[in-house]
Structure 1
């Protein structure tokens, strides 16, 4: 075993036993999700992986299903304006992910004949696809032996191997070496290992209230053996209320339902009922106004949305990109 901690992983229990225990647990308890279906296309898996970044499954499911019904293949999305991707992204948050998926669809059509490429290197060449997403799609869509490391996997590794309550605030090279050393040599088992450890982190080995009694490998956990030491730092969640992110989200909610460009003045202060009707955005406009953001913050948010390609000016108003 190349990583020192891996040898201590299970005390006297071989690492192969952990692989098999996790595979059995996953087979019995894994959530039934559409992107895990054998019938799901590589495109569907790519879409799911992008949507699931920093977003819970329960919020992703209806949006993913809508996307796959509208755009079952990359070519279906590529022929649409990028603004349609943003519109149907809904309230998943971080809508630049929608733009990246649209750009990836265009690249798949132009460079890969409309089919999601099947190697890590080719996937990494798609717009907006980073190391994690490339590894996840290569593993889950194409059955390749790739080391997949997300927040849930990092937390399981930190507790199971390193005896830490939480992983480091950001991914380290040491964590990647550890993850590589834990991977099964068998290709099929490596895919299941990635999926099962990720599922364990999502359902059992959670950040705040781990359900250790339900863990299939609890007897091998270094953190439990150490007496469950507390975290060495206090995680800081992202602020929302009063932030530019909240304001940008409120503006995007208006643009997604507006049937014509929205004049900036309507965003700054309550418009007439006629104006609301013309924009087709009465409800989200009213919600935006209730937030009562200062004009300078609204101006900054609008400039940022245009700069990021999430909105554009047209006929004196703001709309989703065409």
Structure 2
């Protein structure tokens, strides 16, 4: 086996007593028996896989699944989605967060229709050209929608590799070339097996080898884990979650909730004056939530301007609205 790469860039060899085929067989067997029954697995269209991968970026499965199911029922093909109005897209996206993903997916659907005959591209290189599709998403769709042998590396896979092979509690704070090298080295040569390995390792990281409370007693490769063998050393850094309360992101989200609830443009006064909002039934609940944040004026101005700049809102003489 070639040298395996440490997250920091150094190299080590996978121990002889842990041959990769053993890791492959144990994780794949576990996945085939224990995998969650998720609707974008199994008999799912490539479009459904692409939608799931975009939605799952920085958003947990429990929040994504109901929105994904409604989305695919409403827009079962790229053609149907490309024809949707941006305002409808943003309303359907709801509270998944990072709504620019919805607009990028909308642009990707338009490109799929214009340049790929309405069919999601089949290769990594073609997928990478779609708006909003990065290296991870391109590799994941190629593997999970089309059964191609690609190196899929997300946060869960990185953590499993770091513990299982390198012996560290967590991978580096940011993805490194060394980690990509390690992932490529561990990828099975057989195409079908490689797809199962990618899916199984990702699932293992999501439900067993979790960041904060790993359930090592349920791990199919507990006996082969380098981190366990090393005595479960503490991480070299403390992960910092993204703050939410009081941030511009929270204010932007509250403003977007108001715009999604509105059937007409929202006059600017309603964002600033709680008393002015009391008589607007369809907006009252969301406006109350916004005002409860006690946002200072510069932050609210920044949120409104940022939403307009990002194409998530429009400002007219009548007020603010979702893009038409």
TM-score range, shorter chain: over 0.9
Tell me the CA shift for residue 7 of structure 1: 7.8
Given the alignment, which residue of 232, 248, 271 partners 1:244?
248
Tell me the CA shift for residue 315 of structure 1: 3.7
Q: 1:291 to 1:8 in 2, by over 3 A?
A: same
Q: Contact 1:9 / 1:221 at 8 angstroms: preserved in 2?
A: no
Q: Contact 2:28 / 2:196 at 8 angstroms: preserved in 1?
A: yes
Q: Does residue 8 of structure 2 align to residue 3 of structure 1?
A: no
Q: Does residue 189 of structure 2 align to residue 193 of structure 1?
A: no
Given the alignment, which residue of 9, 12, 17 partners 2:17?
12
**CA distances 1:198-235 after superposition (whole Å, capped 9, x unpaired):** 00000000001111110001111110000000000011
Partner of 1:159: 163
Tell me the CA shift for residue 4 of structure 1: 3.7
Given the alignment, which residue of 284, 293, 296 partners 1:294?
296
Partner of 1:26: 31
Partner of 1:109: 113
How many aligned residue pairs are there? 319
Tell me the CA shift for residue 3 of structure 1: 2.9
Tell me the CA shift for residue 253 of structure 1: 0.5
- TM-score w.r.t. structure 2 length? 0.96
Q: Contact 1:183 / 1:193 at 8 angstroms: preserved in 2?
A: yes
Tell me the CA shift for residue 175 of structure 1: 0.2
Following TM superposition, where does structure 1 have runs of at least 4 consecutive aligned residues deviating by more than 2 angstroms? 1-11, 271-275
Given the alignment, which residue of 104, 129, 132 partners 2:133?
129
Q: Contact 1:9 / 1:220 at 8 angstroms: preserved in 2?
A: no
Tell me the CA shift for residue 2 of structure 1: 2.8
Tell me the CA shift for residue 276 of structure 1: 1.2
Q: Contact 2:79 / 2:118 at 8 angstroms: preserved in 1?
A: yes
- TM-score w.r.t. structure 1 length? 0.96
Distance 2:311 2:102 in 1: 11
1:41-120 paired onto structure 2 within 5 Å: 41-120=45-124
Tell me the CA shift for residue 17 of structure 1: 1.6
Tell me the CA shift for residue 271 of structure 1: 4.3
Distance 1:37 1:226 in 2: 37
Q: Does residue 173 of structure 2 align to residue 169 of structure 1?
A: yes
Query: Gaps spanning 5+ residues in structure 1: where?
Result: none
Given the alignment, which residue of 275, 284, 287 partners 1:285?
287
Distance 1:136 1:27 in 2: 18
Tell me the CA shift for residue 270 of structure 1: 1.4
Distance 1:177 1:143 in 2: 21
Q: Does residue 237 of structure 2 align to residue 233 of structure 1?
A: yes
Distance 2:153 2:167 in 1: 18
Distance 1:110 1:94 in 2: 26
Distance 2:194 2:36 in 1: 19
Q: Contact 2:4 / 2:185 at 8 angstroms: preserved in 1?
A: no
Q: Contact 1:261 / 1:317 at 8 angstroms: preserved in 2?
A: yes
Given the alignment, which residue of 184, 187, 190 partners 2:188?
184
Q: Let me know the Cα RMSD of the aligned residues.
A: 1.4
Q: Which moved more, 1:17-26 or 1:136-145?
A: 17-26
Tell me the CA shift for residue 37 of structure 1: 2.4
Distance 2:207 2:297 in 1: 43
**CA distances 1:124-174 after superposition (whole Å, capped 9, x unpaired):** 010110000000000000000000000000000000111100000000000
Partner of 2:8: none
Tell me the CA shift for residue 273 of structure 1: 5.8
